[in-house]
Amino acid sequence: MSQGYIQEVFSSFQGEGAAIEGSCYGLRQIFIRFSGCPLALGVHGTKGCIWCDSPKSWGSTPKKCLVETKPGSQIFKEIENPVTSNDILNMVKNLTSKDLHSISFTGGEPLFQESFLEKTIELLKLNGYNIYLETAFTDNFEYLEKIAENLDYACVDVKDRTAEAALNWEKLIEQELLMCKILKNSGTKVFAKTVITKSSKDEDFEIIARNCGEIGVPIVIQFVSPTAGSKVEKPTWSQINNFTQIAGKYLPADKIGISIQMHKAVEIL
């Protein structure tokens, strides 16, 4: 029986993305937030993205997780970790509403708990649910290829250099772009999301955009949401305006979008 560690389960609306293929922006999802993030654990030499808004997911084996009791109620009960794939199915069934679009696996990094994720998405697919994966990193590409057949949608967080997610940024984005390619080739509707800050550089973004163009994967440029006390600053409008035009050199217009974190703007989960 496959078991894993999760942080929280709740029903809300996808707050990131744009009007591009692969995005579920604005659609009702049940969010399964996995624990543990290899980037935060220093796999690439740094301690996570400097603007990370899910630091509570960094711990890989929390004792408890929070599970919403009714869709959108924002009332939670505590459940002991680890949980089984069957437990997740029951939580999802309990939170299923008529307007539910898909189940979002997020984190932390869902791909960090390989066998648990694989079994859970298999079970949810068997029960008729659509699966959306939000991911930033794996170097197990065979595994990604294997689970891709059960992934309907995916958002790969391709890190801008200013996230400081890796000492070797070029190597990290090479891996993330390969993830995009594997998912696309497997038939998953995938897009790349790049979070931009005021310090982001045209030349760095152009590398990401050119690579997305080569593999035909849409790109969403997302304004950073600075966390309390952080020195990270939002990008300016002129940067965003410039970046979308850079992307336009490599991708058709319907594969380029901008995003703000809608759930933060309207203060929902």
Q: Cα–Cα distance between 78 and 58 in angstroms, integer?
A: 19
Binding marks (x or -) toward ligand SF4, 52..91, rule CB under 6 A?
A: x-x--x----------------------------------
- Indicate which single residue of 65, 88, 136, 212 sits in contact with ligand SF4 (rule: CB under 6 A): 136
- Indicate which single residue of 9, 39, 209, 224 sits in contact with ligand SF4 (rule: CB under 6 A): 39
132 and 153 in contact (C-beta within 8 Å)? yes
* Stretch near ligand SF4 under the rule CB under 6 A, chosen from 15-23, 44-52, 112-120, 256-264: 44-52
SS3 156: strand
Q: Is 37 in the site for ligand SF4 (CB under 6 A)?
A: yes
* Stretch near ligand SF4 under the rule CB under 6 A, chosen from 102-110, 210-218, 223-231, 256-264: 102-110
- Per-position DSSP letters for 59-105, written without gaps between them: -SS-SEEEEESSTT---EEEEESSEEHHHHHHHHHHH--TTEEEEEE
**Minimum CB distance to ligand SF4, residue 137 (Å):** 6
Measured between its terminal Cα atoms, the distance across the chain in Å is 31
Q: Which is nearer to ligand SF4, 47 or 125 (CB)?
A: 47
**Minimum CB distance to ligand SF4, residue 42 (Å):** 10
**Minimum CB distance to ligand SF4, residue 201 (Å):** 19
Q: Is 49 in the site for ligand SF4 (CB under 6 A)?
A: yes
**How long is the chain?**
269
- Which residue from 151, 167, 243 is spatially nearest to 205, judged by alpha carbons? 243
**Burial profile 114-136: b = 16 or more Cβ within 10 angstroms, e = fewer:** bebbbbbbbbbbeeebbbbbbbb
Q: Which is nearer to ligand SF4, 49 or 177 (CB)?
A: 49
- Indicate which single residue of 67, 165, 190, 251 sits in contact with ligand SF4 (rule: CB under 6 A): 165
**Minimum CB distance to ligand SF4, residue 35 (Å):** 10
- Indicate which single residue of 40, 151, 166, 217 sits in contact with ligand SF4 (rule: CB under 6 A): 40
**Minimum CB distance to ligand SF4, residue 211 (Å):** 19
Q: Cα–Cα distance between 16 and 5 in angstroms, integer?
A: 24
**Minimum CB distance to ligand SF4, residue 2 (Å):** 22
Q: Is 107 in the site for ligand SF4 (CB under 6 A)?
A: yes
Q: Cα–Cα distance between 129 and 113 in angstroms, integer?
A: 20
130 and 103 in contact (C-beta within 8 Å)? yes
Q: Which is nearer to ligand SF4, 49 or 88 (CB)?
A: 49
**Minimum CB distance to ligand SF4, residue 154 (Å):** 14
Q: Cα–Cα distance between 177 and 159 in angstroms, integer?
A: 10
